[in-house]
Amino acid sequence: MTYNLMRFIPLSVLPLMLSCGVPSEEAAPALLETQAQSLATGTPASTGVLAFLNSRSTTLAVLDFGVPLNALTAQSIIAHRNGPDGVEFTADDRHYVSIEQVDAIAQVGPAALATLEAYVRGTGRVEMPLDEQVGTFHGVAFNLAEARRVVAAANTESLAALQNTVGLSASQAQAIVAARRIDHIVELSRVAFMNGAALQALKNHVALAPDGDPCTGPATCQAGLSCQGLAFGGPIAYGRCRSNPPIAGDSDSCSVMRPCQPGLVCSGSESGSPEGICRPAWMAGTFTNYSDLALPGSTVQLVSVVGVVGLATVPEDITVVLDLLHSSSSNLVLTLEDPGGETALLWNGPTEGRPPSRIPVTRGIPRDGTLNGKWKLHISNPAGQGSGTLREWSVKLTSRFD
């Protein structure tokens, strides 16, 4: 059975929005990130929204004043959850299982769904990588790493430091101290006297990223760290701050039966080699696009993009993982393109049949090519037969320095 999951427009910058008609490629985001998603059932964003709506701590007051939603929308959501008898904790209570179910409720539409997504992102209910955008608060944008650092500073800096070092007003600093413990960026943004200038001052105060956090250049990491894995080409993308200290066992041979020391990964074994080489763990990563991309019965080629950042300079293992539903998947031809334009035929459906969910790349893309940047999955249907959905796809990589 083929499902075509509905896409909704969230407030975050991540979703790759589809224009009218059949697109040949997802619209390019302003910022290349390591995970892309829309508010479609099965994505981390939808999981966060559904868990929030199913929680009994999510009361009418929370939806009405905390999120906040329109009062009628909040009432409709709670009424649907409580079931026909209108009473909590009875046998007819309903459990939210999909975004489509929420969207079908009276008074709920794209605006309410976008508000819910923004709230669960900002309150830390969505699984996301450090460079994913949490949201914009008083006009100041935060990725997850920045939000964490700002919340930590708000909870730990002394009253004097908040005023004299960060540059907040006395009333702003006192309000932050009085509000402790502050659990998330939404709560911080709603502290008394908080405004865009104060949030920007806090963001500037913790601007230098620690080891492992996103960076945009050498001047954006803390002392002793370098910004590794900036994307080739564009758009603007984050690398990762790395200290890269010596690790015992680095460059040793390894295999499934002879694993690496802690802090290392076995690179090369997934490409069919009987043994690999131990590399620092940060040189491996998995990067996902929760694309929910419609695959119509058409010969038009479609392209889905995922950003890869923060690794070394050239690939070793390359594995593509697919979540694809299609009524005639044996007609599909799948091609992977690296950031430098090199391509690999992943799967030729007309001669190889239905594509598996996991495809190691052992042909086409050189192992001395470009690694960090935009990786593209090209999907063509030469016969134009069948339809379906690319729900998500990932590229799993290990890397080394050339």
pLDDT in tens, 298-316: 999 999 999 999 999 999 9
pLDDT of residue 31: 56
**pLDDT surpassing 50 at residue 3:** no
Q: What are the φ and ψ backbone dihedral angles of 147, each rounded to 5 degrees?
A: -60, -40
pLDDT of residue 41: 82
37 and 43 Cβ atoms separated by less than 8 Å: yes
Task: Return the axis-axis angle of helices 144-156 and 196-205, rounded to nearest 10°.
Answer: 90
Residue 270: band (very low, low, confident or very high) from pLDDT cuts 50, 70, 90: confident
Region 136-140: mean pLDDT is 97
Q: Say if 40-122 and 133-205 have the same CATH topology.
A: yes
Which element (helix H / strand E) includes 289? strand 284-290
pLDDT of residue 292: 83
Region 104-124: mean pLDDT is 95
Query: 132: which residues sit within 8 A by CB, 6+ positions away?
Result: 12, 14, 33, 34, 35, 143, 144
pLDDT of residue 27: 53
From 257, 384, 135, 117, select the one nearest 108 (Cα to Cα).
Answer: 117
The CATH topology of domain 133-205 is DNA polymerase; domain 1 (1.10.150)
- Asked whether the bond before 235 is cis by omega within 30 degrees of 0, the reply is yes
The CB-side HSE value for 164 (13 A sphere, CA atoms) comes to 4
C-alpha to C-alpha distance for 309 and 214, rounded to whole angstroms: 9
Calculate the average pLDDT of the chain: 89
pLDDT of residue 234: 57
Q: What are the φ and ψ backbone dihedral angles of 44, each rounded to 5 degrees?
A: -55, -35
Residue 274: band (very low, low, confident or very high) from pLDDT cuts 50, 70, 90: confident
With H, G, I as helix, E, B as strand and everything else as coil, classify residue 250: coil
**pLDDT surpassing 60 at residue 19:** no
pLDDT of residue 342: 96
The CATH topology of domain 284-400 is Jelly Rolls (2.60.120)
What architecture is the 40-122 domain classified under in CATH?
Orthogonal Bundle (1.10)
Region 185-202: mean pLDDT is 98
Query: 326: which residues sit within 8 A by CB, 6+ positions away?
Result: 2, 295, 332, 386, 387, 388, 389
**What pTM did the predictor assign?**
0.82
Region 169-196: mean pLDDT is 98
From 127, 105, 107, select the one nearest 49 (Cα to Cα).
Answer: 127
Q: Sketch the domain layout of the chain as residue ranges.
A: 40-122, 133-205, 284-400
C-alpha to C-alpha distance for 291 and 225, rounded to whole angstroms: 34
pLDDT of residue 244: 81
396 and 319 Cβ atoms separated by less than 8 Å: yes
**pLDDT surpassing 90 at residue 147:** yes
What one-character-per-residue DSSP string does 45-93 give?
Answer: HHHHHHHHHH-TT--HHIIIIIS---HHHHHHHHHHHHTTTT-TTSTT-
> 3-state DSSP: the chain helix, strand, coil percent, rounded to 5?
25, 25, 45
